[in-house]
C-alpha cells in the first residue's frame, strides 16, 4: 500500500503556471481551474489553493509569501492584485467558488 506524496510546491507551480497562461480573463481562469480540478486533488491542497487565489502564491506561517520573488512561483491573477472595487473583488470570489 503506497502513500501518495504531499507536494504543495508542485501543486503551486502547476496552478500558478495555468493562471498565468490564462491571462487576465476571469472566464479563462475559471475554465482552467475547472478542468484542472479533475486532475489535481483540490481537497488535499485546499490551503495552498486558497493562498494562491487570494495572495498569488503559497504563504508561510505569519503570512509572508514563499516565492522568493520568483515570477514563475507567483501570479498577479488573485484577490490581492485585483482592482480595489466591489465588482472586481466579487468577480474573483465567483471564480473561486465555481
Q: Could you count the other beta carbons within 10 Å of the beta carbon of residue 65?
A: 16
pTM above 0.85, yes or no: no
Domain-located, residue 1:
no
Helix (H) or strand (E) holding 88: helix 86-97
| 87 assigned to some structural domain | yes
Q: What is the pLDDT along the chain (98 residues), one digit of tens a residue?
A: 467 788 999 999 999 999 999 988 888 999 999 999 888 989 999 999 999 999 999 999 988 888 888 888 999 988 888 888 998 888 887 776 65
| Residue 2, in any domain of the structure | no
| 46/50 Cα distance (integer angstroms) | 6
Domain count, the chain: 1
CA distance 58 to 86: 25
Q: Which residue range forms the structural domain that includes residue 34? A: 8-94
- The partner residues of 59 in beta bridges, in order of sequence, read 65
Domain presence at residue 3:
no
49 located within any domain = yes
Nearest Cα to 22, choosing from 9, 40, 35? Answer: 35
Amino acid at each position: 500500500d503506497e502513500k501518495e506524496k504531499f507536494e504543495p510546491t508542485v501543486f503551486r507551480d502547476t496552478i500558478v503556471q495555468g493562471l498565468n497562461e490564462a491571462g487576465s480573463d476571469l472566464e479563462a481562469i475559471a475554465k482552467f481551474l475547472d478542468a484542472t480540478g479533475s486532475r489535481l486533488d483540490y481537497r488535499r491542497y485546499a490551503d495552498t489553493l486558497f493562498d494562491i487565489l487570494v495572495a498569488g502564491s503559497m504563504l508561510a506561517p505569519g503570512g509572508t509569501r514563499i516565492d522568493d520573488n520568483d515570477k514563475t512561483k507567483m501570479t498577479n491573477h488573485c484577490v490581492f492584485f485585483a482592482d480595489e472595487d466591489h465588482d472586481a473583488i466579487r468577480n474573483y470570489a465567483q471564480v473561486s467558488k465555481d
